[in-house]
Amino acid sequence: MQSSIQLDTPTRWNDYELLDCGDFEKLERFGEFITIRPEPQAVWPKLLTEGEWKSKAHVRFVQKTSNSGEWQKLKKIPDQWRMKYTLINNEDIVFRLGLTAFKHVGIFPEQASNWDYIVESIGAMKTPKPRVLNLFAYTGGASLAAAAAGAEVTHVDSIKQVVSWSNENMQLSGLEDIRWMVEDALKFVQREVRRGNTYHGIILDPPAFGHGPKGEKWKLEENIAEMMRGVLQILDPKEHFLILNAYSLGLSALVIENLLKEHAGDTLSIGELYLQAKTGVKLPLGVFGRLLMSK
C-alpha cells in the first residue's frame, strides 16, 4: 500500500466563502447570505474587527446549550434559501439551506473536495453503473455527487427529517432514484455483510456522537473500528474506492491510516480538510482517508 499525507480544500465554490474565522466563530457566505456561527477549532483571534463582522452578517447563531441555540437576525434573511455547487464533471448539485436549532444550515462546504473525488473515482471505473453507499449521509452532498456521476446510490442516515431534506436536494438537483434508508449505519453495514452485498464506492462521515432511529448509541472512538471491519468486507473486490472523513477534535489523520492500512494493494491518501478564509487563515475541518484500488 502506498500512502501520502496531504491538505485538501475546495477551490471551485462560487456560492460559498469563508470570510474570516477566530475567537471560536466563523463568518461565512452561503449564496447571498452571510452567517456567524460557533467554531471550536478557531482558537486564534479574528482578523476582521467585530464591527466588520456585524456589518457583513445577516444572522448570528448564539449557543444556549452544548447541543442547541438560537439565531439572532441582524438583517433581513429568509428561514430557507438555496445554493449550488458545480462538480468537476460540470453537473450542478443544489441544496436547500435553512436555519436549524443546531447551528447547521444543511451543508458542510469543506466536503466539496470529497464530492469531486467521488465524481473522479466513479468516472474512472469500468463498471457502467457503480453501486455507492453513503453512510451518516446527512443532507446528501456525497449522494448527489455520486448520482450525478452515474452511480446507483444508497443513502443511509438515522434521522427521518434529514433523509427527507436529502430527497428535496435530489429533486432540486434534477436527479432521481437514490435509495433512501432511515437506519442505524452500523447495523445496516452488518446486515450487508451477512447478505453478501458489495459496493464499488463507500463514503462515511461519522459524527463524534450520535444515535440510531431506535436509540442505538454511536461514539466514534468506541465504534469506528467495528464499523470499518464491516465496511471493508463489503467493498467490491474488483473495483472500488472508499472515503472516511471524521470531524472530531484531537483526532489524528494517523488514526485513519491505521484503520485502513490493512487493505493491502490499495493506494491510501490521508490528510486534513480545511477551508481557506478570505483573510488568509486556514480553518481545519476534519481528517480523511481515501482508499483507491490500484490499477
57-86 residue pLDDT tens:
999 999 888 778 999 999 999 999 999 999
Q: Which CATH superfamily is domain 2-10+80-293 in?
A: Vaccinia Virus protein VP39 (3.40.50.150)
Calculate mean pLDDT across residues 161-187.
Answer: 97
Q: What is the mean pLDDT of the chain?
A: 93
The residue written with cell numbers 464533471 in the block is 89
- At residue 253, the 3 state secondary structure works out as helix
Task: Evaluate if residue 249 carries a pLDDT over 70.
Answer: no
Separation CA 93–CA 274 (nearest Å): 21
Boundaries of every domain in the chain:
2-10+80-293, 16-73
Q: What CATH number should be reported for the domain whose range is 16-73?
A: 2.60.40.1180
Calculate mean pLDDT across residues 253-261.
Answer: 88
The residue written with cell numbers 445577516 in the block is 58
Q: Residue 6 belongs to what H/E stretch?
A: strand 2-8
DSSP assigned state of 102: T
Percent of the chain with pLDDT over 70: 97
Structural contact between residues 29 and 37, judged by C-beta atoms closer than 8 angstroms: no
Which pLDDT belongs to residue 117? 97
Calculate mean pLDDT across residues 139-151.
Answer: 97
Q: How far is CA 228 from CA 108, 187, 206, in A?
A: 23, 12, 11
- At residue 289, the 3 state secondary structure works out as strand
